[in-house]
Amino acid sequence: MATSFSSRSHRPSPEHIFQCLNAHQQTAALKAAIELDLFTTIDEGNHRVEEIAKRLRSSERGIRILSDYLTILGFLRKEDGRYSLSEDAALFLSKRSRHYMGTIAGFLTNQQHYENLVRLPEAVRRGGAANERGDNREPNDGLWVSFARSMAPLTVPTAIFIAQLVEAGESRPMRVLDIAAGHGMYGITIAQQNPRAHITAVDWPAVLEVAKENAIKADVADRYTARPGSAFEAELGDGYDLVLLTNIFHHFEKETCVQLMKRVYQALKSGGKAVTLEFVPNEDRVSPPTEAAFSLLMLVGTDAGDAYTFSEYNEMFKKAGFTETTFHPIPGMPEEVLISEKVG
Amino acid sequence: MATSFSSRSHRPSPEHIFQCLNAHQQTAALKAAIELDLFTTIDEGNHRVEEIAKRLRSSERGIRILSDYLTILGFLRKEDGRYSLSEDAALFLSKRSRHYMGTIAGFLTNQQHYENLVRLPEAVRRGGAANERGDNREPNDGLWVSFARSMAPLTVPTAIFIAQLVEAGESRPMRVLDIAAGHGMYGITIAQQNPRAHITAVDWPAVLEVAKENAIKADVADRYTARPGSAFEAELGDGYDLVLLTNIFHHFEKETCVQLMKRVYQALKSGGKAVTLEFVPNEDRVSPPTEAAFSLLMLVGTDAGDAYTFSEYNEMFKKAGFTETTFHPIPGMPEEVLISEKVG
């Protein structure tokens, strides 16, 4: 069993209300299990409450209750009192896996997100972030360095998908501009697949340090240039084959997105492509669930950001000069890629 | 679509991890909607973003994003840009319904619950509440008056189920002791159905004030006696036909439960019944989901409480003198009733 966005039919009951009001327990439980490293401990062969508790220097009561709760959520299996990892947990939550992504808990559940969420009624009234940090055009090193450090593992399947989509494997010379690069993993993955690719990364100076570290780890640092500054003001250069815009537009109002995309158009060579990675809900704005739900984070965390639909992106990008944009869902991931070619 | 505990099959994907780490958004969104009274406003005939925003003196952006999110959760429906209430929302979240229970948000998401949850890793290590409030044998007026005031609406179907189970409708003389009565609704409902029932309610003085108010509202105050004090120390009296133990055992360790149940045995007349209302998971402790998940709240909020299984209750009650206990699931509600008769 697992908690998920899924359809259900039932007679009227307060149970779903009860579950949603208690849903913050799911966040706390998964975060705690990651922090305690429960999944790795089970993966190392500790399957019973007593074994796990001893290894984690924790109480048996605490381990039993937390492990049962994680079984309800679908991250563990329980048979005859023995806990084992679900497929997702083994792949993504055990440090023995090279796909470990437990670090994302640090960013997704940080104090700023919590403080934004508790002020949701105020955000609904005024139509934007209730805190002082709604305009994401200024540096906010604490938040975005944390993002860059913790969210990189989540990018792997998406980064590979994008690299394939732009045919990085064909090893043509490729000049890539990575705007608001963060951890830099999207550009770095292209550089790994294409030894003739050169990446120029733009972001705030403190964030770019993380991208540079990742470029060194990936052994592409000799083809990696950092351009510290704002995506709206930095000198971007021109003649690029590709410009990457990964998870940046959702922070801003439409006019600001158009303004940024005009800069991108200028920076591309003729025939070059802008690659946008975003949470793109359907036109009904309530499906698919994860993409559509992303709007709520933008309401509490930004002055005017949103999870824009494809038709909204298409319209914004047309205003910036891109006559056609194509849509590419990412298998198994709740994000979509948009490709806009500079024609002529 | 709706978030719920439900089975799902899928290939490995980080999406479920992402959803669980973000699940606190569900809590915040439903709480905010109740606080803003969005459901009542829609129920009053405001269906479009502009209408709802105007009525609630809120921004259109905020109302649109919150309403879309509630649609994803299954509390609203959206068709051609018009929002309407789901069956659950119409019945339980609109103030126009006599079953309105929006008040439960106040208790379920209060600051103490939040503070308990953020200290979950510490609670797992030490095996009990990380705060100072783990032993529920002392008064904690702020919490339990809040509980009594906010949770009463949730009790209606359960209170009616219990009243039927104890044949309150047959109007025999019935002396009922309601231990840790809280809002008092379980005893009061019996008194409403049986004009010859007399209720004696035990709880801390400040909490009993709420029960007395509810008895007056229900027009049974002349058959309602308050006995302020601890369930473990107050003079309970004896010769009762029924003793109600609603949501009390889960706060304590087994030994304490046995001790309380011995007092109950003494207070009952021969042939009298102890009626226990509890979250009773199956013996696997991971189903049904809501009952089993309740343990987590007991880990963070109590020193040694739990969601005990039926076999555990049966064993505890036997130690207290009750030779047989029967099990009664409540249709549509995530709690169970246990009936233990005093034989001889």
Query: A54-64 burial string, b = 16+ CB within 10 Å, else e?
Result: ebbebbebbbb
Please answer yes or no on whether A58 and B124 come within 8 Å at the CB atom: yes
| Farthest-apart Cα atoms in chain B, separation | 68
Cis bond before residue A329 (omega within 30° of 0): no
Distance between CA B178 and CA A43 in Å, rounded?
A: 48
Give the residues across from B178 on adjacent strands.
B201, B244
Distance between CA A220 and CA A188 in Å, rounded?
A: 7
Please answer yes or no on whether B23 and A21 come within 8 Å at the CB atom: no
Q: What is the pLDDT at residue B14?
A: 87
pLDDT beyond 90 at B38: yes
Helix (H) or strand (E) holding A264: helix A254-267
B44 SS3 class: coil
Q: What percent of chain B has pLDDT over 90?
A: 80
pLDDT beyond 70 at B87: yes
**Are A310 and A321 within 8 A, CB to CB?**
no
Nearest residue on chain A to B117, judged by CA atoms? A28
pLDDT in tens, B94-134: 999 998 999 999 888 888 888 899 999 999 999 988 776 66
Of A7, A19, A61, nearest to B290 by CB-CB distance is A19
Distance between CA A211 and CA A221 in Å, rounded?
A: 10
Q: Going by DSSP bridges, is the β-strand pair B174-179/B325-329 parallel, antiparallel, or unpaired?
A: unpaired
Please answer yes or no on whether A6 and B4 come within 8 Å at the CB atom: yes
Q: What is the DSSP string of B139-155?
A: --HHHHHHHHHHHGGGG
Quick one: tokens of A335?
């994000």
From residue A2, alpha-carbon distances to A63, A73, A86, B19, B76 in Å are: 19, 4, 11, 11, 23
Contacts of A36 in chain B (CB under 8 A): 121, 124-125
The candidate with the shortest Cα–Cα distance to B49, out of B13, B29, B76, is: B76
Q: Going by DSSP bridges, is the β-strand pair A224-228/A197-203 parallel, antiparallel, or unpaired?
A: parallel
What are the φ/ψ torsions at residue B329 (nearest 5 degrees)? Answer: -65, 145
**Are A85 and A39 within 8 A, CB to CB?**
yes
Of B17, B31, B75, nearest to A88 by CB-CB distance is B17
Q: What is the pLDDT at residue A208?
A: 94
The candidate with the shortest Cα–Cα distance to A232, out of A212, A213, A211, A253, is: A253
**Are A22 and B108 within 8 A, CB to CB?**
yes
Nearest residue on chain A to B154, judged by CA atoms? A14
How near does any CA of chain B get to the CA of A227, in Å?
31
Of A7, A69, A332, nearest to B295 by CB-CB distance is A69
Distance between CA A237 and CA A263 in Å, rounded?
A: 10
Low-confidence ranges of chain A (pLDDT < 50): 1-9
Quick one: tokens of A304?
């005017």
Please answer yes or no on whether B127 and A154 come within 8 Å at the CB atom: no
* Average confidence score pLDDT of chain B: 92
Of B26, B56, B104, nearest to A23 by CB-CB distance is B26
Distance between CA B138 and CA A20 in Å, rounded?
A: 30
Of B59, B92, B284, nearest to A126 by CB-CB distance is B59
What are the φ/ψ torsions at residue B162 (nearest 5 degrees)? Answer: -65, -45
Task: Report the half-sphere exposure of A35 (CA within 13 A, side-chain side).
Answer: 21
Q: What is the pLDDT at residue B10?
A: 54
Question: Choosing among B7, B18, B26, which should be mutated to test the A contact, i.e. which has the most A CBs within 10 A?
Answer: B26
Q: What is the pLDDT at residue A131?
A: 75
Give the residues across from B286 on adjacent strands.
none
Contacts of A73 in chain B (CB under 8 A): 20
pLDDT beyond 50 at B4: no
Q: What is the pLDDT at residue A4?
A: 42
B242 SS3 class: strand
User: What is the DSSP code (8-state) at residue B286?
Assistant: S
pLDDT beyond 50 at B173: yes
Please answer yes or no on whether A120 and B29 come within 8 Å at the CB atom: yes
Please answer yes or no on whether B296 and A104 come within 8 Å at the CB atom: no
Please answer yes or no on whether B295 and A65 come within 8 Å at the CB atom: yes
Nearest residue on chain A to B66, judged by CA atoms? A296
Residue with tokens 């563990």: A76
**Are A133 and A125 within 8 A, CB to CB?**
no
From residue B314, alpha-carbon distances to A80, B242, B261, B321 in Å are: 21, 18, 11, 11
Q: What is the pLDDT at residue A260?
A: 98
pLDDT in tens, B27-37: 999 999 999 99
Interface size between A and B, measured as CB pairs under 8 A:
322
Residue range B184-209: mean pLDDT, rounded:
96
pLDDT beyond 70 at B18: yes
Of B8, B123, B333, nearest to A6 by CB-CB distance is B8
What would you report as the CA-atom Rg of chain A, rounded to the nearest whole angstrom? 22
Q: What is the pLDDT at residue A1?
A: 34
Which of A305-314, B9-18, B38-47, B171-180 has the least mean pLDDT? B9-18
Amino acid at B87: E
pLDDT in tens, A206-229: 999 999 999 999 999 999 999 999
Could you list the beta-strand ranges (E) of chain A: 2-6, 76-79, 82-85, 174-179, 197-203, 224-228, 240-246, 268-278, 325-329, 336-341
Which of A204-208, A221-225, B3-7, B200-204 has the least mean pLDDT? B3-7
**Are B16 and B53 within 8 A, CB to CB?**
no
Amino acid at A107: F
From residue A191, alpha-carbon distances to A237, A265, B49 in Å are: 19, 22, 46
Please answer yes or no on whether A66 and B120 come within 8 Å at the CB atom: yes
Q: What percent of chain B has pLDDT over 70?
A: 96
Cis bond before residue B331 (omega within 30° of 0): no
